Chains A and B, each alone.
Chain A
Amino acid sequence: MPEIAIQHINKRFGKVQALKDINITVENGEVFGLVGPDGAGKSTMFNILTTLLKPDSGEVEVLGMDVVKDYLQIRQVIGYLPGVFSLYPDLSVQENLAFFATMYKSSILDNMSLIKPIWKQLVPFKDRPAGKLSGGMKQKLALCCALIHKPKLLFLDEPTTGVDPVSRREFWDILKDIQHKGVTVVVSTPYMDEATRCDRIALIQNGEIIKIDTPNKIISNFRGHLFTMKTDDIFGLMQLMEQFELRCNYYPYGEHFHIAFYDDVEKALPAFEEFLQQHEREHGEIKPITPNIEDCFIELIQMK
Chain B
Amino acid sequence: MKELRMILYKELIHIVRDKITLFLVLAIPIMLVLLFGFTISTEIRNAQIAILDQAKDGQSASLIDKISSSGYFQIVAYPETESEIDRDFKEIDIKLALIIPPDFEHALEKDKMATLQVINDVSDLNVASILNNYLLAITHDYINEYNNMGEETGSVEIVTNMLYNPESNSVYMFVPGIITLIMIIVTALMSSITLAREKETGTMNMLLITPVKKVYVIIGKVIPYMCLSLISTIMIIVISVFVFKMPVNGSIWLLLLLCIVFMFTAASFGMMISAISKTQIDAMMVTMMGLFLPTVLLSGFLFPLDNMPMFFQVLADVFPAKWFIIAIKDVMIKGSGFFDIWKYLGILILMAIILITISLTNVDKRK
Contacts and interface: CB of A to CB of B under 8 A. Distances in A.
A40 B18 CA distance: 38
Name the interface size band of chain B.
20 to 34
Interface residues of A, number: 29
Nearest to B211: A76
A72 B211 CA distance: 7
Interface string B269-306: 00000000000000000000000000000000000000
B209 interface: yes
Interface in A76-108: 76, 78, 80, 82, 84-91, 95, 98-100, 102-105
Given A75-B211, A102-B2, A102-B3, A82 B206 contact: yes
A205 interface: no
Contacts of A78: 209
Given A53-B367, A75-B211, A103-B6, A95 B202 contact: no
Interface string B105-121: 00000000000000000
B211 A91 contact: no
* Interface of A: prevailing SS: loop
Given A75-B209, A76-B211, A102 B14 contact: no
A50 interface: yes
Given A53-B366, A54-B366, A103-B210, A86 B3 contact: no
Q: Is the interface of B mostly helix, strand, loop or mixed?
A: helix
Contacts of A82: 202, 205-206
B363 to A, nearest CB: 12
Contacts of A76: 211
A175 B325 CA distance: 60
Between B10, B17, B206, the greatest number of chain A beta carbons within 10 A of the residue's beta carbon is seen for B206
Interface in B1-45: 2-3, 6, 10, 13-14, 17-18
Given A71-B366, A90-B18, A104 B13 contact: no
Nearest to B207: A103
A94 B3 CA distance: 16
B367 A100 contact: no
B70 interface: no
A300 B205 CA distance: 35
Nearest to B5: A102
Contacts of A72: 211
Listed residue (A50, A51, A88, A91) with the most chain B CB atoms within 10 angstroms of its CB: A88
A271 interface: no
Q: Which of B201, B203, B367 has the most CB of A within 10 A?
A: B203
B238 interface: no
Interface of A: 50-54, 71-72, 75-76, 78, 80, 82, 84-91, 95, 98-100, 102-105, 145
Interface of B: 2-3, 6, 10, 13-14, 17-18, 201-203, 205-212, 366-367
Given A75-B209, A75-B210, 8 more contacts: A53-B367, A54-B367, A85-B202, A86-B203, A89-B201, A102-B2, A103-B210, A145-B206
